Structure 1
Amino acid sequence: MPSYVSSSAARDSRDRRNNLMPADPVIKPYPLPESELCRTAVRIVRKLRDAGFDSYLVGGCVRDLVSGKRPKDFDITTSARPEEVMQLFSRSIPVGASFGVVTVVEDGNNFEVATFREERDYMDGRRPEKLRYSKTPQEDVSRRDFTINALLYDVTGGNIIDFTGGLADLRRGVIRTIGDARTRFSEDYLRMLRAVRFAARFGFTLDPEAVGAIRELAGKLTLLSQERIRDELTHMLTGPNPASAFRQLSEYGILRVVLPELEAMHGVTQPEQFHPEGDVFEHTMLLLRHLAYPSEETGWAALLHDVGKPGCRTVGEDGIPHFYGHDDVGSRLAEQILKRLKMTTALTDHVTAAVRNHMRFASVQKMRPAKWRRLLADP
C-alpha cells in the first residue's frame, strides 16, 4: 500500500481544516464483479502499475460497485502523464490531453485515463483556468464534485480507498460536496444540476449546506451554455425518477432559471373533477411519476405537454377554469424551448407534434401506461 502523504504539508493542513478529506483514508476490502469490461479495466490499471505508475479505478464505477450496481464504464486515475499513457497503450486517443485525460481503447471499449491533477482558478464558473498535475491520489480526488464520486479502488489489494467520507454518505443516502459547497458549485455551476440529478437517481437527499449554496447560486446558471444545461435536464428526464428531479429543481430555485415556462405552471388551478391532483405543475409531475427511463422524446413530450396552459387559462361564468387552445399554444412554446436548448430538429419535431396532439389523452390517472406511452412515442 503506498504512503498517502500530500506533497505540501501546508496544503494538507488547510484541506483538513476545510473538511476536504480526513487525515487518514477509510480502506474497505471489496470484491470486483466478474465481467469482461471490469477485467479489461483492471488489466489497464495493472499495466500502468507494472510500468511504475500509481493507478486506481475511480469515481462512478466505484460508487456503483458499492451501491450494488454493475458499472457501465470504468474510469482510471494515474500518476502517469498523458504522453506516458499514450506510449504504453498503442490504441489511445488524446481527446482531453490538454486537461490530463486520454481515452484508451481496449477490447472495443473506451476507458478514460486521467492523470492525478488539481484544477485551479475557475474564473467563469465553467472550466478551470489552470491545471497542475499532482503527485498523490488524495490531491486528485479532492478536486472532484461529490464525496460519493471520489472513491478509489486499488486493484492490487482489492480495497476501496475513501479520502472524503463517500462510503459513509452512500450509507446515509446523502449527496455532499467535497469541502465548501459554495466553492465547489462556483467552480462549475453545472454541478448544481448534477447534485439534483444524483439525488433523484439514487433516491438520496442533498446535504443542507449544498441546498443553501444552490439557492444562493442558482441564478449563475445563466452563464452556462444551453447545451450543457440541456444535457443535464435530459439525463434527469431519462433517469429512474424524473418527477423527483424536477420537483427539486423547482424547490431549490433552479427551474425558474433554466425552464421558467415550467415554473409558471405552479398555482395554475384546473377543474377538480378532471384534475384532482391539483395545479398544472402537479399534473405534470403526476405524468412524470409514471415514467422511468423513458426515451428523450417521451420524456420531453411528457414534461412539456401542458406548457401552454398558464398562458391560456380563462374562467367561465360557472367559475370553472378553461384552457382553450392550450395544445396549439403549447406546441409553439415547446418549439421555442427546445430550440433555445439546441435540441435536434428531429426531436423538436417529435415533441412539438406530441404536445399539439396530446388532447387525445384520456385522464392520466385512469390511462393504462401502455396507452400513454404509445401516444407520447407516436404523436
Structure 2
Amino acid sequence: MHWFVLGCIRGLGLRKGGIVTDLQYLENLFLIPDGAERERRWREDPEARRILPELYRLDGIPQPPEYHPEGDVLTHTLLAIRHLPPQADPRLAWGALLHDIGKAETTREIDGRIRAFGHDRAGVELARGIMERLGMEPAKIEDILWLVHHHMFALSWQVDEESQLSRRQWRFVEDPRFPLMLDLMRLDALAAGANPAKLAQVEFYRRARRAQAP
C-alpha cells in the first residue's frame, strides 16, 4: 500500500542526511501504484516542487492544441507519469518526467503557431544538470539522456515501411535501450489524448525490432 511509502517519507520527515535522499524521495513517488494518485502527488507535493523547480516551470507553457489536447507541458508530463506501468524501469520514469523539460526554454509562437524547436537538445542539458545534482549514477544518467535526446526520432524519420530504414537507422533500432524508447513513445502518446498516429508508430517500430531479432 503506497501510504506506507508516503508515511515513511512524509509522516516521519525522513530527509537527505537521514534515510531518504532527494533522489530516493522522487523515485518513491514513481512507485505510487495508483496512476491518478501518482499524478496528483507529483502535481501537489511541496517537496517535489522544492527539489525539482525546473519541472514546475513547465506549468502554463502552451502546446499546439491539435497535437496536445490535454493542455500545457506540465499537464502532459504528469499524464505520462500517470500512465507508467507498475514497477516501471526507473530510466523510463525519469525519461517520461524529463522528456519535454526543454520546452520551458524553447517554446515560442511563430507565425501564429506554438513551436518548441530544439527542446530535445535543450532538455538534455537541463536533465543532465538535474540528475547530477541529485547524485544519480553516471550510467543511468546517460541512458536517460539518450531517451530525452532521441524521443522525437520518429517525427524526424517519417518512416512507415521497414524497407525505408537506412543502416544507421537499423543500428538505432537495434540499440539495447530501444525498447525503453518505445515505452516512452507510448507514454508520450497516451499523455497526448492517446494519439493514434503516435501509438501506430510504436507498434511499427516494435514489429521492426522483432523482425531483426535472431
> CA–CA distance in 2 between the matches of 1:270 and 1:349?
27
Equivalent runs, 1:14-33 vs 2, <5 Å: none
The more displaced of 239-248 and 253-262 is 239-248
Q: Map residues 231-310 of structure 1 onto 2, 5 A cutoff.
A: 231-241=24-34, 244-292=37-85, 293-310=87-104
Contact 2:43 2:78 in 1 (8 A): no
- CA distance in 1: counterparts of 2:34 and 2:105, whole angstroms: 28
Q: Which secondary structure state, in structure 1, belongs to the residue aligned with residue 21 of structure 2? A: helix
CA distance in 1, matches of 2:36, 2:77: 8
Q: Please, which runs of 5 or more residues in structure 2 have no aligned partner? A: 155-184, 210-214
Which deviates further from its counterpart, 294-303 or 359-368?
359-368
How far is 1:256 from its partner? 2.2
What's the CA shift string for 1:214-264, capped at 9, x where partnerless? xxxxxxxxxx35971101211222443466335324324333201111111
Pair 1:259–1:238, CA change in 2 (3 A): same
What amino acid does structure 1 have at the position aligned with 2:64? P
Task: Give unpaired runs (5+ residues) of structure 1.
Answer: 1-63, 68-145, 150-174, 178-183, 191-223
Higher helix share: 2
- Show CA shifts across 1:92-150 (max 9, x none): xxxxxxxxxxxxxxxxxxxxxxxxxxxxxxxxxxxxxxxxxxxxxxxxxxxxxx8x69x
Distance of aligned partners of 1:189 and 1:352 in 2 relative to their CA distance in 1, 3 Å threshold? same
Counterpart-to-counterpart distance in 1, 2:125 and 2:54: 12
Structure-1-length-normalised TM-score? 0.38
In structure 1, the residue corresponding to 2:84 is in which secondary structure?
A: coil
Is the 2:29–2:42 contact (alpha carbons within 8 Å) kept by the matching residues of 1?
A: no
- The answer on whether the counterparts of 1:307 and 1:333 sit within 8 Å (CA) in structure 2 is yes
Q: Distance in 2 between matches of 1:275 and 1:257?
A: 27
Give per-residue Cα distances to partners, 1:73-109, cap 9 Å, x unaligned. xxxxxxxxxxxxxxxxxxxxxxxxxxxxxxxxxxxxx
Instruction: For CA contacts below 8 A with separation 6 or more, give which structure has more relative contact order.
Output: 2
Confirm or deny that 1:311 pairs with 2:105. yes
Residue equivalent to 1:347: 140
In structure 2, do the counterparts of structure 1 residues 266 and 305 end up closer, same or farther at CA, with 3 Å as the change threshold? same
TM-score (norm 2): 0.65
CA deviation profile, 1:7-43 (whole Å, cap 9, x unmatched) = xxxxxxxxxxxxxxxxxxxxxxxxxxxxxxxxxxxxx
Partner of 1:337: 130
Distance 1:370 1:288 in 2: 20
**Is the contact between residue 38 and residue 81 of structure 2 (CA under 8 Å) also seen in structure 1?**
no
Structure 2 residue aligned with 1:228: 21
Aligned to 1:356: 149
Change over 3 Å in CA distance of 1:257–1:265 after alignment to 2: same
* Structure with more of its chain in strand, by fraction: 1
Q: Structure 2 counterpart of 1:188, which letter?
A: G
Amino acid in the other structure paired with 1:235: N
Q: Give secondary structure in 2 for the equivalent of 1:254.
A: helix
Give the aligned length: 165
Question: Structure 1 counterpart of 2:152, which letter?
Answer: M
For the pair shown, which has the larger CA radius of gyration, 1 or 2?
1
Counterpart Cα distance in 2 of 1:369 and 1:338: 32
AA of the residue aligned to 1:283: H
Tell me the percent identity.
Answer: 29
The CA RMSD measured in Å over matched residues stands at 3.4
The superposition leaves residues 242-290 of structure 1 with CA deviations (integer Å, 9 ceiling, x where unpaired) of 6633532432433320111111111111100010010001111222222
**Contact 1:243 / 1:288 at 8 angstroms: preserved in 2?**
no
CA distance in 2, matches of 1:188, 1:245: 19
